Amino acid sequence: MVRTAIIGATGAVGREMLATLERRDFPVGDLRLFASERSAGTLVATRWGEVKVESLDDADPAGVEVALFSAGGDRSRQHAPRFAAAGAVVVDNSSAFRMDPTVPLVVAGVNDDAAKAHHGIIANPNCTTMVLMMGLAPLHRAAGLTEVVATSYQSVSGSGHKGIATLEAEIGHFAADFDALRTGAWEAPPPGYYPRPIGFNVIPFAGGAVAEGYTDEEMKLVNETRKILDAPAILVEPTCVRVPVMVSHGVAATAWFGRPLGVEEAMRLIAAAPGVEVWSDTVPTPLDAAGKDEVLVGRIRPTVGRPGGISLWTVGDNLRKGAALNAVQVAELIL
């Protein structure tokens, strides 16, 4: 039995981590829940009994064997090394350690062996990268990925509670006058989490601005893809879009490889990979992926502009495989 902790236990991903531990019968011997001082003292019902939330700032990590972190980058940088130094293996869901060359970046079912090289901390990739890797990694293993053009369609739950609340409020705002959406006479909703309205809209700028007009979400797709696949020469052209969807990120990708790859072989390779479902008769959507552990892959087709490549669509629940599920699967790997 494993003495287990969830850090950021009251957030959307933290709650999903708890549900995943329960659903997968993770061998929890003792469960501790940590969050901010604001949530400390809250009682949380679990299958292992009621657990009182502890303040992370005051936490004594002694005795914790596995620590699942979803507390944001700053708090991970501050506290994850402390838990690791106390003997815990930390699986961190933030961006704090992803590009640290000493920290493995692991997608369970894609690069499991990388987890063995940890020194106390293992990083969970970005949720969008994770969904894309589930579709592309089986093809890379067989044919060697060389280039990919990827456009993400990211749900508001990727921004946490504030993103969800903003979409809910703006849907209500615009629903009062649908004609205004058609004619362009709409009135701006009250300020929300995003720089532009997300209700009945898409925002082709997900994340924060970095260099050359790109966002940090886009650069995560570039850098994390290369690290996960251990292929630093892969060319990645990313665009990340926020869409008015509650849960599940989708990625449309066109990829080329070291050799031509046909549709039948691609479908066979993806279907044989763990944690993936190939949908050939129905187009998979975010609504289909919500609440599912598997990543759905569809619209697998040959490239037409430059023959020999594959275009496909991947979609997965960003709170599950994109975050909580993968963290628990990584913990299972290290056991």
311 closest CA partner among 204, 143, 202, 151: 151
User: DSSP letter at 321?
Assistant: I
Q: Which amino acid is at 152?
A: S
Q: Is there a catalytic annotation at residue 240?
A: no
Q: Which amino acid is at 120?
A: G
The one catalytic residue in 79, 118, 127, 240 is: 127
164 closest CA partner among 275, 244, 79, 219: 244
Q: Is there a catalytic annotation at residue 79?
A: no
Three-class SS of residue 17? helix
The one catalytic residue in 79, 118, 140, 249 is: 249
Q: Which residue reads 């299972």 in tokens?
A: 332
Specify whether the CB–CB gap between 65 and 88 falls below 8 A.
yes
Three-class SS of residue 302? strand
Specify whether the CB–CB gap between 293 and 321 falls below 8 A.
yes
Number of neighbouring beta carbons within 10 Å of residue 48: 14
**Residues known to be catalytic:** 127, 249
